[in-house]
Structure 1
Amino acid sequence: MLFDLPDTATLYQALLQRDPDYDGRAYVGVSSTGVFCRLTCPARKPRPENCTFYASVGECIQAGFRACKRCHPMAPAAEADPAVKTLLAALAERKGHRWSEPDIVRMGLDPSTVRRAFNRHFGMTFLEMARLERLRNAHVALAGGGKVIEAQIDAGFGSANAFRDAFSRLMGKPPGSFAADALIRADYIDTPLGAMIALCDRTHLHLLEFADRKALPAELHRMHQVFKGRIGFGRHAPLDLLEAELDAYFSGRSGQFSVPLAFHGSDFTKSVWHALVEIPAGQTRSYGRIARDIGRPSAVRAVARANGANQIALLVPCHRVLGADGSLTGYGGGLWRKQKLIEIERQYG
């Protein structure tokens, strides 16, 4: 389960009130119709004896319910939250703007409600997300040969120290530590589910993560250690291929990737990642199934840890691993993304 559900009476009351605090966190399966819904569904409310509550979309499907056509519970919850949609659109329109809580208030939104909504969907606040977007502007400036002071200005930081600290927390090192002629290069790739950061050399992809993933700074720091600081900005040929294949993936043209991958981990961890790569698009596996596939049936927890340590999102499809009961379980890029990726891949099954 994704979180501990309260008692049935509380959940039924939330259903009657269309309580938005449960949106994306609890679902109701209605035995009289055979459908499952968000608790905010506008449809006529079922009788309590016909309701069973679940903590994930996966559990609802496992129980035999089909998705409601009115509240679309299979769509990422973030897309259904008006405040989230409004702010994400504003963030895309006002590039480089230094967002603050008064900006949110001027848009007629409550900062505390927005904070809860973004934390629930993305694991970070809107202001943290906006800061990441400004740091991306800095990355683009540096990759284009700009000076650090120019990147600082593009990112909207008035203080050089604040810029240096923020950049270091995201990228693992301060901006001046990135080599101009490095063999390993870092660049951004845009996707419909958010910007991603990729690291590659002339032949292989070493890292691919959503830019807002909490674990990304630690992963990039490890990459700096592996390559002894020889990481720079820009891209090599594999990133151009990756960008084209991601476009085909998200547009529904192909679920296949051919970019060569470089794994950094123990032999056991690598064996798990190789097993993940073997899962066809449109299919899912349990941790126990993967443990059996690699010949380590008792190592289910170790498989789960290796799955969580994956540093090449999408191409090493850790999102295709579900709990034994079919629940979505954890995903470093956010459960809403995991749900959407599985939804996208149904067309490839």
Structure 2
Amino acid sequence: MTKPVLDQSLQSMDTRSREVFRLIVENYLAEGDPLGSRNLARRLPQQLSPATIRNVMSDLEHLGLIYSPHISAGRLPTQQGLRFFVDAFMEIGDLSEKERQVIEAQVVASGRSQSLEQMLTEASQMLSGMSRGAGVVLAAKSEAPLKHIEFIQLEPRKALAILVSQNGDVENRILELPAGVTSSQLVEAANYLNAHIRGLTLGEARTEMERLREEARNALDTLSQSLVDQGLAIWTGRDTDTPQLIVRGWANLLDNTMAQADLDLLKHLFEDLEAKESLVQLLDLAEEGPGVRIFIGSENKLFSLSGSSVVVAPYRDKNARVIGALGIIGPTRLNYARIVPMVDYTAQLVSRMLR
């Protein structure tokens, strides 16, 4: 919902209309059920007849904020109505001291004693447990400084590249070799690379190799150039690296979705999450703006088929560079007011642990 449309809707709603709309949305977020005029009449602070309430609901339908799922039913918020509610009515709550302690216990404790992957896994599990959705974390490839590179010939035209980082991580890749390459040439190429890129990240190593080639083109023989082009090039850049997606709490999604008879939508969500290209899109969503971002239903192309909502925030490294995203995926009736500060605080803690 664009801001001009939002402003226009606000201006056309009196106090009575706003209260009816708020009750319909809050009932949907809490129960997932339509709210009819008789039940509304009992909940409104002022006494209004069901007929008057039906007229108000008709006006709200005309604005595109609510709809009737079937004849003679109560009303539910539309996707546009949910966005309108989030932007214009919702008051973001604050975490209780107990909730902060739970988040800190999971993130800080695991961050001090375990690997980054394990810390993110526990953060995902924790977010799922504290919300109605599935906790999701996108962990981008880390760029730890390199300690050692080695090439092992597997076939005449293939080699195994072994990269050891200074933090102890080991990554293996299969590379295509030029014709006629020998094992001794691979050893010489590895020695050359180790002499020049030790202590650099993969991105820095790629830049350094390009600089060396410009300074002295004969310093690298054909094989070394080929290994650099094939190896280091494919290890750098988000477009070629496959980030790691950590999702915990499928049972929460099943419970919520089955209650709404939306199993087909859940199937679409599973398919969306399995799509490799979707992982980069999730990180892009988080990077488009500061802080927590809320995407409702088809507002995000990533989960448009499933109609799921996403509340996502980026986390950053010591250089304030976005290296991943975490948040909640779930049905559109998420408790946004509670989840937003939860996701925000968790992202801040993860960023703090990475400094």
Q: Which has the larger radius of gyration?
A: 2
Sort the TM-score into its range (normalised by shorter chain).
under 0.3
The structure with the largest strand share of the pair is: 2
